[in-house]
A = this chain, B = another copy of it.
């Protein structure tokens, strides 16, 4: 009949339909995997919070610990692992009726479902980032933020790409990918660090937040462009222009169309009476845009980000943001833990000669990542008293988007394991360094212009 439920399939197994027997065990495997993912994400997150580091870092490190590098609890058939590599499958064999015969099919199905949940996780993450972004805020903090954002995207991208090509003789496509991964500041990490040191509403803080918002948008476009380049396997200027136009047209089209659709969706929600109307109407919109973005060769995440931006402009933003938080809490850790779980840290072992190139690349990327953002503050025009160093340092932490690049790059085969791990090292190091560095550069002087302290605690 159907696979909807688990128990029946033990019955069907009795009825000698062996393949159906898996479903009950697949569900058990999924439940165990979810327990491992959530345990790793919370343990890592809590440890990082106590070390005054962003929780997202802990989720990533937690993923590394439960993943292929250490415990092998969470491994993926798509990464070439088999049931024999999975400690969860071994545990299932011990505790349930799973036999070695059926282990492989259970492993593949469970691995497929967790991967799909992780993909939905990054779609929902970008929806939430879109919902928390504010084009108007960017316009208000104005041209200064734009200069910081553009310089902070172009400098590390150009230096990183050229450096990898000419200093490390890395092929062009992985170099572009790694360069692109250097571009996007983590708005969540940045805002949280600024709030922790009480500078969120200083002029520097406002410029940093504005630039980080624009950075997010630029990062998405860069990711879409670079991903599309990876798809074609070569760089054609006409193709690049086409992709930039198509990415921009999609985003602008979605937002312009959204200006009309937004009020219609709000009116629809207001006329509805069932539970979950705001959340589900919004997600229908987000999933349709994600689907369109996906089939026109862009990224599904660009669609959900655009949907978030559109809905951020409506009167439902606050209600929706409140409702998306538990949903994101549930889905997003799957993404970060799975990214960590697939990181093979053994490529960074300096005892193995061929790994030294990876460490050198990591060191280079970290230097470029820091330098490329620190210069942004000094690029700001005007003669105002600004703590320009603080602006640059505030842009240092990379985060979600950098990890997205690492994951997409690794998944596409565009990045070799050493470069992928170097990017993740770069994300980890910049994120580690930013909080103490920001404290130092802000302590050097008093706030130049202090606006009313914003009491709202940003979510990471």
A78 touches B35 (CB 8 A): no
Residue A220, interface by CB 8 Å: no
Q: Which residues of B contact A294 (CB under 8 A)?
A: 6, 24, 27-28, 31, 96
Nearest B-chain residue to A32, judged by Cβ: B291
* Alpha-carbon gap, A119 to B3, bound state (A): 9
Residue A414, interface by CB 8 Å: yes
Residue A8, interface by CB 8 Å: yes
* Alpha-carbon gap, A42 to B233, bound state (A): 42
Nearest B-chain residue to A228, judged by Cβ: B7
B342 touches A4 (CB 8 A): yes
Which listed residue, B3, B4, B77, B299, touches A7 by the CB 8 Å rule? B299
Q: Which residues of B contact A122 (CB under 8 A)?
A: 5
* Alpha-carbon gap, A85 to B79, bound state (A): 31
* Alpha-carbon gap, A342 to B1, bound state (A): 8
A11 touches B407 (CB 8 A): no
A31 touches B300 (CB 8 A): yes
Given A113-B112, A272-B42: A5 and B412 interface contact (C-beta under 8 Å): yes
Contact with B along A405-417 (1 / 0, CB 8 A): 0011111111000
B276 touches A329 (CB 8 A): yes
Given A31-B287, A55-B274, A412-B11: A78 and B2 interface contact (C-beta under 8 Å): yes
Which listed residue, B49, B79, B119, B275, touches A6 by the CB 8 Å rule? B119
* Alpha-carbon gap, A338 to B333, bound state (A): 26
Nearest B-chain residue to A27, judged by Cβ: B119
* This chain's copy number in the assembly: 2
B295 touches A96 (CB 8 A): yes
Contact with B along A251-293 (1 / 0, CB 8 A): 0000000000000000000001111110111011001101100
Q: Which residues of B contact A26 (CB under 8 A)?
A: 116
* Alpha-carbon gap, A118 to B20, bound state (A): 17
Q: Which of A390-429 contact B (CB under 8 A)?
A: 407-414
State how many residues of chain A have any CB contact under 8 Å with chain B.
99
Q: Which residues of B contact A76 (CB under 8 A)?
A: 2-4
Q: Which of A332-351 contact B (CB under 8 A)?
A: 333, 335, 338-339, 342
Q: Which residues of B contact A290 (CB under 8 A)?
A: 31
Shortest beta-carbon distance from A272 to chain B in Å? 6
Shortest beta-carbon distance from A322 to chain B in Å? 8
B287 touches A35 (CB 8 A): yes
Which listed residue, B113, B275, B297, B411, touches A8 by the CB 8 Å rule? B411
List the 5 shortest-distance A-B pairs measured between CB atoms, nearest first: A276-B329, A8-B412, A3-B78, A8-B411, A45-B274
Chain A contacts to B: CB under 8 angstroms = 1-12, 14-15, 20, 23-24, 26-28, 30-32, 34-35, 38-39, 41-42, 45-46, 49-50, 55, 58, 76-79, 95-96, 109, 111-113, 115-116, 118-120, 122, 227-228, 230-233, 272-277, 279-281, 283-284, 287-288, 290-291, 294-295, 297, 299-300, 323-327, 329-330, 333, 335, 338-339, 342, 407-414, 459-460
